[in-house]
Amino acid sequence: DAGITQSPRHKVTETGTPVTLRCHQTENHRYMYWYRQDPGHGLRLIHYSYGVKDTDKGEVSDGYSVSRSKTEDFLLTLESATSSQTSVYFCASGQQGGALNEQFFGPGTRLTVL
């Protein structure tokens, strides 16, 4: 199994507060991704990174920002959390490019915004 961890695993916060979720991988993967999982939507891509300091937006990026200062760490920040951001967040990482870029997923972070 790829070594991908997420922290925290559970968080409850209030509307308007900033929240940062952390993803850490030990596989030296170039690509890292943040998804959110909501009923009926499967997994939707928020942001992704293709290298240190190289990031780009995904399908549902509004209200989120990311940073990648080291290969192993990818941070997702909600600048001012809203109730619509209550979700389960999954981080994933993958090898460098190619059609066989299997993504390895972390255990998920359940975020509740009250």
Partner 1 sequence: ILNVEQSPQSLHVQEGDSTNFTCSFPSSNFYALHWYRWETAKSPEALFVMTLNGDEKKKGRISATLNTKEGYSYLYIKGSQPEDSATYLCAFNPNRPGNMLTFGGGTRLMVKP
Residues forming contacts to partner 1 in the complex (CB under 8 A) are 31, 33, 35, 40-45, 48, 50, 56, 58-59, 90, 94, 97-108
Secondary structure (DSSP) of the chain: ---EEEE-SEEEE-TT--EEEEEEESS--SEEEEEEEETTTEEEEEEEEEETTEEEE-TT-TTEEEEEEETTEEEEEESS--GGG-EEEEEEEE-SSSTT--EEE---EEEEE-
Least Cβ distance, residue 31 to partner 1 (angstroms): 6
> Quick one: 94 or 113, whose CB is closer to partner 1?
94
Least Cβ distance, residue 104 to partner 1 (angstroms): 8
> Quick one: 29 or 78, whose CB is closer to partner 1?
29
Least Cβ distance, residue 18 to partner 1 (angstroms): 26
> Quick one: 19 or 91, whose CB is closer to partner 1?
91
> Quick one: 87 or 103, whose CB is closer to partner 1?
103
Least Cβ distance, residue 101 to partner 1 (angstroms): 4
Residue 7, number of CB atoms within 10 A of its CB: 13
The pair of structure tokens assigned to 82 is 């809203």
